[in-house]
Structure 1
Amino acid sequence: MAEVGQSRSRASPRPKLALKVAEDLRAQLLAGDPPAGSKLPTEIELTARFGVSRTVIREAIAALAADGFVEPRQGAGVFVLDRATLTFNSMTAEIGNRISHAINVLEVRMGIEIESAGLAAQRRNGAQEAAIQEAFFEFDRLLSLNLATGRTDFEFHRAIAAATNNPFYLEVLDALGERAIPCDITSPWGTESILSREYQEGLQVEHLAILRAISAGDADAARASMRHHLSASQQRYRARLYGRQQSYSAARAEPVR
């Protein structure tokens, strides 16, 4: 693996160092170095190689794990995930940075999650239904505290995928990761005007319809509710693109004489 320069400016904040290390490791993993199924070098080895602290290495590994590139296993080390997952993540790496990518990933999610909602209604067990409900109410709790809801939004959808009892639904959603919910207060699109309380309460109304259908064991209603939710999300992103056009036109309109 290529090394990052040993010298470190005191002015460089640690998050940027962790990001740089993660980017370098990500590029090498995509190139097959090291191959899928193998272990990453130890923290001590990576610390020496990149010339950074162990804390920076841990943050970089955590970022790679969140993106589905590696999997830490307690007492065993950090393992590289299979190439299919790596390729999928490389395709979706910029979803959070462009509205057009968010629209595209929602289209993919529709192909997966509409059916997963129906299967969850038919196949979920008590624990799985409870997990869906817990994610729903955690969203409400975070919203009441004006905290980011994106992670819990994803957990709600992930719990539904898990309730299909088909591991491939969960695997595909995990490959997308939290980039599947790009509109959060931590994302480039997470402005107060977009993520208003009213906006997020609207999401919860849609989530509630899905939850009720799954709890009732109504597969058709679950599919319809999920289709409505994801279609509405696509429309919300398209509205933002249109809003940009309107703002651009208004800013450049010639004054009326």
Structure 2
Amino acid sequence: MSVSPDLKVERKPKLSESVITAIRKQLLAGEILPGQKLPTEGQLTETFGVSRTVIREALAKLAADGLVEPRQGAGVFVTEHISTMFGALAADMGAKDSIALHVLEVRLAIEIESAGLAAIRRNAAQEAAIQEAFFEFERMLLASQPTGPADLAFHRAIASATNNPFYVEMLDVLGRRAIPCDVTSPWSTELVQSDSYQRGLQREHLVILNAITAGHAEAAREAMRTHLGASQQRYRERLQARQAFYASSVKAAAGE
């Protein structure tokens, strides 16, 4: 039986996506306020008529987008210092390749100055937090585990060391989408998960860390500019390679 070319088959949305959409709408409408605790897993299960697994998947996605945060032993709370409108926008970006480049462009505008300010303004505890995130990245890398959370923690610790909460808020808006090397990112590939690739990231992190701990603001800015600029270039090269592969695949298929 032939299938009409005009027939469109739409993918049935996952149950977790329906839960995510519903919670986002409540956030945007102000029905759930910043800092407010979400209902328990059991309550959400009853409300949406789905399993606990579906609820956990939805909450993990909302947390990855920076809209909610789990607190050990207390539950899941709406992120306090974040614009839910911007957070929802970041969550709706989808997996379009160009978005990763847009995110990196925004990060360049934010994080170059945050690195310089961190070099000047950080206190001992904040400097220690940056170092801890750096060594956590190293630990995860040696253990062959996802480094994305540690990578984000490193950049977030630098933003926090500016002592200007808006730098942290902007990174929280971007959430884990800010880190393409995270295996949970829609832009993650085998290349960015490779040891050699992430070793390169860590070398760039070390230059940033050394400049901040030395209190050299301009060196810290330049190190961050180099790091994020290199990330832009690496991602452009991956996109070009992907496009070339697609073009060759189409050509090969046409010749069959």
TM over 0.5: yes
Contact persistence 1:117–1:223 (CA under 8 A) = yes
TM-score normalized with structure 2 length: 0.81
Equivalent residue number for residue 136 of structure 1: 134
**CA displacement at 1:55 relative to structure 2:** 6.1
Equivalent residue number for residue 9 of structure 2: none
**CA displacement at 1:20 relative to structure 2:** 3.3
Question: Residues 187, 41 of structure 1: CA spacing in aligned structure 2 closer, same or farther, 3 A cutoff?
Answer: closer
Equivalent residue number for residue 119 of structure 1: 117
Structure 2: distance between partners of 1:164 and 1:77: 29
Structure 1: distance between partners of 2:95 and 2:56: 24
**CA displacement at 1:27 relative to structure 2:** 2.8
Secondary structure of the corresponding residue to residue 128 of structure 2: helix
Equivalent residue number for residue 10 of structure 2: none
Secondary structure of the corresponding residue to residue 239 of structure 2: helix
Q: In structure 2, which of residues 22, 29, 32 is the aligned counterpart of residue 31 of structure 1?
A: 29
Gaps of 5+ in 1: 1-15
TM-score normalized with structure 1 length: 0.80
What is the RMSD computed on CA atoms of the aligned residues?
Answer: 2.9
Structure 1: distance between partners of 2:29 and 2:236: 35
**CA displacement at 1:114 relative to structure 2:** 0.4
Q: In structure 2, which of residues 103, 107, 112 is the aligned counterpart of residue 109 of structure 1?
A: 107
Question: Residues 250, 77 of structure 1: CA spacing in aligned structure 2 closer, same or farther, 3 A cutoff?
Answer: closer
Counting aligned pairs with the same residue, the percent is 63
Equivalent residue number for residue 172 of structure 1: 170
**CA displacement at 1:75 relative to structure 2:** 8.9
Contact persistence 1:44–1:54 (CA under 8 A) = yes
**CA displacement at 1:197 relative to structure 2:** 1.3
Query: After superposition, what is the alpha-carbon deviation per residue over 1:143-192, rounded to whole angstroms, capped at 9, x for unaligned?
Result: 11221111111011001011111111111111211111023223343332
- For structure 1, which segment, 190-199 or 202-211, has the greater mean C-alpha deviation from structure 2 after superposition? 190-199
Equivalent residue number for residue 152 of structure 2: 154
Contact persistence 2:20–2:58 (CA under 8 A) = yes
**CA displacement at 1:236 relative to structure 2:** 1.0
Equivalent residue number for residue 189 of structure 2: 191
Q: In structure 1, which of residues 209, 217, 220 is the aligned counterpart of residue 218 of structure 2?
A: 220
Question: Residues 107, 53 of structure 1: CA spacing in aligned structure 2 closer, same or farther, 3 A cutoff?
Answer: same
Query: After superposition, what is the alpha-carbon deviation per residue over 1:108-146, rounded to whole angstroms, capped at 9, x for unaligned?
Result: 111110000001000111111111111111111111122
Equivalent residue number for residue 207 of structure 2: 209
Secondary structure of the corresponding residue to residue 206 of structure 2: helix
Contact persistence 2:45–2:52 (CA under 8 A) = yes
Query: After superposition, what is the alpha-carbon deviation per residue over 1:209-241, rounded to whole angstroms, capped at 9, x for unaligned?
Result: 100000100000000000011111111111112
**CA displacement at 1:103 relative to structure 2:** 0.3
Question: Residues 95, 180 of structure 1: CA spacing in aligned structure 2 closer, same or farther, 3 A cutoff?
Answer: farther
Q: In structure 2, which of residues 239, 243, 246 is the aligned counterpart of residue 245 of structure 1?
A: 243
